[in-house]
Amino acid sequence: MATSKKTEIVKNLVEKLAQVRGVVFVDYQGLGTAQINALKEKLKEKESEFQVVKNTLLQLGLVKANYPKIELKGPTAVVFVSKDVFLTLRVLEEYAKVEEMPKIKSGFWEKEFIGQDRLEDLIKIPSLEYLKGLVSFSLNAPINNLVNVLNWNLNQLIYTLSQTKERG
């Protein structure tokens, strides 16, 4: 590959790294073109981008974008995360369950290195929507219980009156 092409790739990587909140590195070995394109579409829905890059160019781009230096081995693809890293990790996990690929290596969140173990822990955290629903339910439970207690006597009165009417 010509030096100008490599320079352009590194320049594009630096620009993307400056714009995103997080980066996830995955081993894509074993995925075919059709599978990679399907994964790209699923990630695009979550405002993430999948890109295959040579390790040397990726490491050079990371250094130029002021990320800590890391060592990458084997085939590596980059997932640029614009918004929610949890949603992106879930897409990768769900896809990996079906295709048994890609394998998450490591990543960065807000330029802080995140190892494979920590990323796997992040996958287990419930989604933000689920947590909001759980908090909402917990906050509403005492109020709902109070309403039920206050309505109980009224319901019993109505039941008693309807039974009396039927008998008499």
Better-scored residue on pLDDT, 25 or 127: 25
Structure tokens at 115: 């190892």
Q: Check: CB of residue 90 under 8 Å from CB of residue 40.
A: no
User: Can you give the pLDDT at residue 52?
Assistant: 93
Bridge partners for 49 per DSSP? 80
Number of H helices, E strands in the chain: 6, 5
pLDDT tens for 44-100 read 998 999 999 999 999 999 999 999 989 888 899 999 999 888 889 889 998 888 888
pLDDT value at position 65?
A: 93
Region 31-52: mean pLDDT is 92
Record the pTM.
0.74
Name which of 108, 131, 112 is nearest 58 in CA terms: 108
pLDDT of 1 over the 80 cut: no
- Type of residue found at 123: I
Any idea which architecture 3-125 has in CATH?
2-Layer Sandwich (3.30)
Note the pLDDT tens digit of each residue in 105-162.
Answer: 999 998 899 998 898 888 888 877 888 888 888 888 888 888 888 888 888 888 888 8
Q: So where are the chain's domains? A: 3-125, 127-168
By residue count, the chain amounts to 168
Binning pLDDT at 50, 70 and 90, where does residue 2 land? Answer: low
